[in-house]
Structure formats: C-alpha cells, structure tokens
Amino acid sequence: MILEGVLDTLGALSLLGGTVFLALGGLGLVRMPDVYNRIQAGTKATTLGTLLVLLGAALIVPSWSIKLLLIMLFLMFTNPLSSQVLARAAHRAGVPPVASKDCLAEDAEDLA
C-alpha cells in the first residue's frame, strides 16, 4: 500500500516534470530566431518531455509499462529523425540560417 502511494506520487511528479519540459520546448519554438534553432528547441524538449510523461504513466499503472516502453523506443527513434529530415529540407529549400558560419552552404557547390 505504501509502495503504491510512493509510486503514484513519483509518477505524478515525472508526469508534471515532463509537461514542464514540453512547455519549455513550446517557449523555445516561440522565442528562437530561425527555423533551425526552433527545431533544436522543439525536438529536444518534446523528446525528454514525452519520455518523462510516459515514464510517469508507467509508474502509476505498472501493467502498462511494456506498451509504454514500446512507445518510448519508437519516439526516441523517430523524433530526432523527423527533425533531421526537416532541417535538411529547410536547408535544401534555401531557408537561410541565422549563423556565424555555414559549412553546408560553403560546400554546396562541390557536392552538387
């Protein structure tokens, strides 16, 4: 009984922490100056945020943990992947980065 209560509280805390990271990611999306920095803020915060929420859910309802683990693994793989594909698409579409140096644009001619 006591253990259950401890797990519940820990789970709820993990849940809350996860959503705080999600909100920080949202704030990053709003504040960052260009699409690349926005992707950075978006992808990191949402990945950790979602992982913490799923972890919290697994602590509250232990019988769901296998399926939640599957969702975690899936997100850990696909989330950075979609960000990379978006960053690449932005660069190929010619969205200029706010950057002091852009090696990719410098190398673009001899790579074409």
Residues 73-112 that bind another protein (CB under 8 A): 74-95, 97-105, 107, 111
| Whole-angstrom distance, CA of residue 16 vs CA of residue 59 | 13
Is 46 in contact with 33 (CB distance < 8 Å)?
Answer: no
Of 3 and 100, the one with the shorter C-beta distance to another protein is: 100
Measured CA angle at 58 (ends 62, 61), to 5 deg: 45
State the minimum distance, in angstroms, from the CB of residue 65 to another protein.
Answer: 9
Q: How many CB atoms lie within 10 A of CB 80?
A: 13
Binding mask 5-24 for another protein (x = CB under 8 A): ---xx-xxx-xx-xxxxxxx
| Whole-angstrom distance, CA of residue 8 vs CA of residue 50 | 18
State the minimum distance, in angstroms, from the CB of residue 7 to another protein.
Answer: 10
Size of the site for another protein (CB under 8 A): 86
Q: What are phi and psi of 38, to 5 degrees?
A: -65, -40
State the minimum distance, in angstroms, from the CB of residue 23 to another protein.
Answer: 4
Range 21-50, binding another protein (CB under 8 A): 21-50
State the minimum distance, in angstroms, from the CB of residue 3 to another protein.
Answer: 14
